[in-house]
């Protein structure tokens, strides 16, 4: 059974789905069998970020309606065959949470990591994180509104019981952060109350185009090195955090 990673955020615009795609690629590049599951029903994005939008034929709605089997909807990545993607329907019809949870448990069989890209906000995200995740990865940006929403989301997840949580601070620009009312990263971590998984600086490439099919040149850049280090920490490796250049 896979280790289930839930990637969540208190509000939209944090780069949560981009980081989900990047972590899935980094884990697969290490040789792990990875299942990425997009649960943002009606607003999916992992297929675009992973360059797989033209490969999706069946989705979670088709499985739950009995129109296809699970494996038919789990699409292998063209570059990383040990990475598979399971997408939600584009329609906005809500899928029952109980059936979704059971489906995700089935999808976790036979892989090393199952990564859930949960929708921003509360509701389904909190329930899925509570019920399924072995590790919650909260993605925030360094502004007061998003930091407070992230803290609220994690507090709700942890109401059901203790669960390992890690924090990713994305789009970091120290001048903009201070202008927004946060003195430094230590203050931000204290406000949220979760240990760091990684800190990602503002990156124009990531902000505009996501991380679909990173080239070898892109994978050697600073941001990709940070993402690869985050994947290493998820795998239990000791990878020191280096924040001096951010």
Between 204 and 219, the more confident residue is: 204
Query: What is the mean predicted confidence (pLDDT) over 30-52?
Result: 93
Q: Are strands 83-86 and 75-76 parallel, antiparallel or unpaired?
A: antiparallel
Between 124 and 3, the more confident residue is: 3
193: left (phi over 0), alpha (psi -120 to 50) or beta: left
**Residue carrying the six token digits 């739950």:** 64
Average pLDDT of the chain to the nearest whole number = 87
Contact status, residue 20 vs residue 141, Cβ threshold 8 Å? no
pLDDT score of 208 more than 50: no
Report residue 211's pLDDT band, with 50, 70 and 90 as the boundaries: very low
> Which tens digits make up the pLDDT trace of 126-168?
999 999 999 999 999 988 899 999 999 999 999 989 999 999 9
Q: What is the pLDDT of residue 9?
A: 93
- CB under 8 Å to 183, separation ≥6 — which residues? none
**Residue carrying the six token digits 């992973």:** 50
- CB under 8 Å to 184, separation ≥6 — which residues? 174, 177
pLDDT score of 219 more than 80: no
> Which tens digits make up the pLDDT trace of 95-118?
788 899 999 999 999 999 999 999
Query: What is the mean predicted confidence (pLDDT) over 53-64?
Result: 94
Query: What is the mean predicted confidence (pLDDT) over 7-23?
Result: 92
Report residue 210's pLDDT band, with 50, 70 and 90 as the boundaries: very low
Quick one: what percent of the chain has pLDDT higher than 90?
63
Determine the Cα–Cα distance for residues 118 and 128; give it in Å rounded to an integer: 8
Domains delineated in the chain: 3-234 (3.40.50.300)
Report residue 207's pLDDT band, with 50, 70 and 90 as the boundaries: very low
pLDDT score of 245 more than 90: no
> Which tens digits make up the pLDDT trace of 161-194?
999 999 999 988 877 777 777 778 888 888 899 9
Q: Is 65 exposed, middle or buried (0-12, 13-18, 19+ CB in 10 A)?
A: exposed
3-state SS, residue 98:
helix
Q: Smallest Cα–Cα separation from 146: which of 116, 114, 176? A: 176
Contacts 24+ apart (CB under 8 A), 237-246: 241/196, 241/198, 241/199, 243/185, 243/199, 245/201, 246/172, 246/174, 246/199, 246/201
Q: What is the pLDDT of residue 96?
A: 80
Between 221 and 97, the more confident residue is: 97
* Tokens, residue 182: 């946060």
pTM score of the predicted model:
0.89
């Amino acid at each position: 059974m896979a280790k289930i990673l839930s990637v969540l955020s208190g509000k939209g615009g944090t780069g949560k789905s981009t980081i989900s795609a990047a972590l899935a690629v980094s884990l697969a590049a290490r040789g792990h069998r990875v299942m990425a599951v997009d649960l943002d029903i009606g607003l999916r994005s992992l297929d675009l970020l992973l360059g797989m939008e033209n490969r999706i034929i069946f989705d979670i709605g088709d499985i739950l309606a009995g129109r296809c089997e699970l494996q038919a909807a789990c699409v292998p990545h063209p570059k990383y065959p040990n990475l598979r993607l399971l997408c939600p329907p584009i329609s906005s019809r809500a899928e029952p949470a109980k059936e979704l949870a059971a489906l995700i448990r089935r999808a976790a069989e036979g892989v090393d990591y199952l990564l859930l890209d949960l929708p921003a906000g509360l509701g389904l995200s909190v329930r899925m994180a509570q019920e399924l995740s072995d590790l919650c990865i909260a993605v925030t940006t360094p502004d007061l509104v998003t930091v407070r929403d992230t803290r609220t989301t994690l507090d709700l997840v942890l109401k059901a019981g203790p669960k390992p949580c890690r924090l990713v601070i994305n789009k970091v620009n120290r001048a903009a952060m201070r202008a927004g009312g946060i003195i430094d990263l230590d203050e931000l971590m204290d406000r949220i109350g979760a240990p760091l998984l990684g800190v990602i600086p503002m990156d124009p490439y990531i902000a505009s185009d996501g991380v679909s099919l990173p080239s070898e040149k892109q994978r050697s850049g600073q941001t990709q090195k940070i993402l690869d280090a985050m994947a290493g920490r998820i795998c239990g490796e000791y990878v020191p955090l280096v924040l001096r250049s951010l």
